[in-house]
Structure 1
Amino acid sequence: MMEWKRKGEWLELSLPHPVWKPLHPRAVEELSALLPVPRKLFLRLASQGGVRVQGNKLLMHLFPEEKASFVPEYQDLEICYEDDFCLVVGKPAGMSIHPAEAGQKGTLASAVAFYYASTGQACAIRHIHRLDQDTTGAVLYAKNEWAHVLLDEAMREKRIDRRYAAFVEGIFRAKRGTIDAPIGRDRHHSGKRRVTPGGDAAVTHYRVLKQMKRAAQVELELETGRTHQIRVHLSHIGHPLIGDSLYGGSTALFKRQALHGERLEFDHPVTREPLSVQASWPQDMLVLLDRLQSL
């Protein structure tokens, strides 16, 4: 990885030797040997004057001022990780990632917009993945277009490892396993999904961390990212999430699905450094653990 630093709206890279003045057709390939480069974005930047060469310094206009596109709303967010390219925040329960309809308030997008504005960052809101409204945990954002392209690619290629903590009903026979079952829409319920032969491929890996008398603490890893995937898969094998009434879980002890996006593991889009970022457990799940252990 070459040496780089941010200079206002520009990223400055120190090249091994003076090159590319003027830029030649193979400049992007040469640069790709030194750091990850989305080809189309680099060529567009170059055509718009967003790439400059000064001796052995290459400058790219990667941090232009942008509008958030969401009305900023204050929310006390947990910042799990942040640098010039990435932001990971801990989403609370009851909050949608972005508005589902015009005028919807109280979304994570608006809370992140407020955070950017309050910290003097003119960034657009670019989430890389989603969590259900009542699921808590880590959500990854790209802070510029360069990082967005690279992180989207990493997500498509399954290079972003998402780990979840959950409390589920029943006693497991096996301590670990894989649920490989396609998921599609439930034709009888527009907001629900189900396992169906004609659905999209979906794979979930689980590991039982603690088996209790009536429930288990389970760690889950997604290989795919279908809507309600964990909820559908666990219900399908007879172990619905505690509190998940939509998929057969009891709400006697918990009023929402007991699911938390605990950890994200991925390579930084620019430095390629391996990152492992955790989001703190919400208080209600800590209380639930105590209750389950005392039953």
Structure 2
Amino acid sequence: MNTYDKGPAFVVSIPPKWENVTAEALMRDIWQAPKKTVHQLRMDKAIILDGQPLNWTTPLKKGDKLHFSLTEKEYGVIPAEMPLHILYEDAHMMIVNKPAGMNTHPNNPSLEKDTLANAVAWHLQQKGEKVDVQHIHRLDKDTTGAVVFAKHALVKGILDRLLAERKIKRTYWAIVHGLITNKKGTITKAIGRDRHHNTRRRVSPSGQPATTHFQLLEQNKPKNLSLVQLVLDTGRTHQIRVHMSSIGHPLAGDTLYGGKPIVSRQALHAKYIEFDHPLTEERLAFEAPFLDEPPLFSAFFKKEGE
């Protein structure tokens, strides 16, 4: 697939596997794009083939180039210049590495200027891309790591579906108190709001189902700490923090859930992200490097000789 450098415009080149598929079937069956978005593309005549408006029911040929021309949109947030660590970018989306102490997006977009979304908007503005900045998922303010942003509604709708279907695999690393004895384990406990605390969540039988898989990576016996890798089947607010605390291993630095303030923040990092590209179906896999200065994770788990 080819893409323009500046959006919101891009080209999709039809590969052999999609030959004889109609644009209608491509949208409905292969991309499974939202009906509302597809309808808007039709109404706007936003897709051109060989210089002519697309016939949605004519079978496509290998090498056909679908030219998408999408309406420019306001960023939705105030562009603000800040350091931005980009793991991946194309005409459709960005994957960025969020630092600690920064919200994913503003609660009040007309006033706040210090979130990851503001930094993404600034980056796009400098490139001349005028698109609505849309996050696909969020990380807590003090959690670091990979976050996905969509650049247009078609990809946003497909990525939202992939997330709901658990096809965007996110893998976290955390430092927790105590020496975990099981090499692997699964925590399946429903999570609900804490009626006595506005921001806290808690294990609650009447809450939303939640499942967390953990794997022990390393132990620091002198400091009574364990390094664990975690994969979520669900994406509940504070899920890792609540689940690890519930089994007696709260995150280091996470004072809200019983962790001790031995580090400046909760020791949680979204280290890996993996999924199929929403349009090309190419497998994407990225590792988000640690950004903490001074180092947080490596300081607690140095190899011998370091």
Bin the TM-score by the shorter chain. Answer: 0.7 to 0.9
Alignment of 1:76 onto 2:83: yes
In structure 2, distance between residues paired with 1:82 and 1:245: 35
Does 1:91 pair with 2:82? no
Q: Kindly state the Cα deviation for residue 95 of structure 1 after the two structures are TM-superposed.
A: 0.5
- CA spacing shift, 1:31–1:139, aligned 2, 3 Å: closer
Per the TM alignment, residue 121 of structure 1 is displaced from its structure 2 partner at its CA by 1.5
Task: Please name the residue that 1:224 is paired with.
Answer: 234
Deviations 1:75-104 (A, max 9, x none): 111101111112001111110111224523
1:118-267 alignment, distance < 5 Å: 118-213=126-221, 214-251=224-261, 253-267=262-276
Structure 1: which 5+ runs fail to align? 21-25
* Corresponding residue for residue 61 of structure 1: 68
Aligned length: 285
Paired residues of 1:109 and 1:125 also in contact (CA < 8 A): yes
Structure 2 unaligned spans of 5+: 53-60
> SS where residue 134 of structure 2 aligns?
coil
Give the AA of the match of 2:44: Q
Query: C-alpha separation between the residues in 1 aligned to 2:19 and 2:252?
Result: 61
C-alpha distance in 2 between matches for 1:231 and 1:165: 12
Closer/same/farther in 2, CA of residues 190 and 286 from structure 1, 3 Å limit = same
Matches of 2:300 and 2:281 in 1, distance apart?
42
Once residues 39 and 233 of structure 1 are traced to their aligned partners in structure 2, the CA distance between those partners, rounded to angstroms, is: 33
Change (3 A) 1:264 1:154: same
- Counterpart in 2 of 1:275? 284
Distance 1:175 1:264 in 2: 22
Taking only the aligned residue pairs, the percentage that are identical comes to 40
**Shift in CA distance, 27/171, structure 1 to aligned 2, threshold 3 Å:** closer
Name the structure 2 match of 1:36.
31
Letter in 1 for 2:264: K
The Cα of 1:58 is off from its aligned counterpart by: 5.3
Is the deviation greater in 110-119 or in 235-244? 110-119
Distance of 1:256 and 1:183 partners within structure 2 = 22
Give the structure-2-normalised TM-score.
0.85
- Given the superposition, is the C-alpha separation of residues 139 and 176 from structure 1 closer, same or farther in structure 2, using an over 3 Å criterion? same
Paired residues of 2:34 and 2:158 also in contact (CA < 8 A): no
